[in-house]
């Protein structure tokens, strides 16, 4: 587990599996940066930068881009 991740989660009242932070609602990239720039890529539920759709990073997408928008970029 990365140093400080557990401490951050405990301070925020959030759970982690050691890799991802289990947030109750999806975050935008700006919200994630505001909460902690260090852990910006550790949030499980994210909001797509392009279409604002909520997605689970374990199921689809990359960074802060959902699967559908990612497919459009690749086309």
Q: Average pLDDT for residues 3-11, to the nearest whole number?
A: 93
Write down the domain spans for the chain: 5-74
The radius of gyration of the chain's CA atoms, rounded to the nearest angstrom, is: 13
Sign of CA dihedral 64, 59, 36, 3: negative
Its pTM surpasses 0.85: yes
Residues 8-44: tens digit of each pLDDT: 999 999 999 999 999 999 999 999 999 999 999 999 9
Amino acid 75: pLDDT: 63
Amino acid 72: pLDDT: 81
CA–CA gap between residue 45 and residue 66 (Å, rounded): 11
- For 33, phi then psi, to 5°, come to -65, -40
Average pLDDT, the chain: 94
């Amino acid at each position: 587990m990365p140093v400080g991740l557990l401490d951050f989660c405990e301070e925020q009242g959030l759970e982690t599996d050691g890799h991802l932070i289990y947030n109750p609602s999806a975050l935008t990239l700006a919200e994630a940066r505001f909460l902690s720039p260090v852990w910006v890529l550790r949030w499980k539920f994210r909001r797509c930068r392009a279409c604002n759709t909520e997605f689970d990073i374990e199921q689809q997408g990359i960074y802060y881009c959902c699967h559908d928008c990612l497919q459009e970029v690749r086309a």
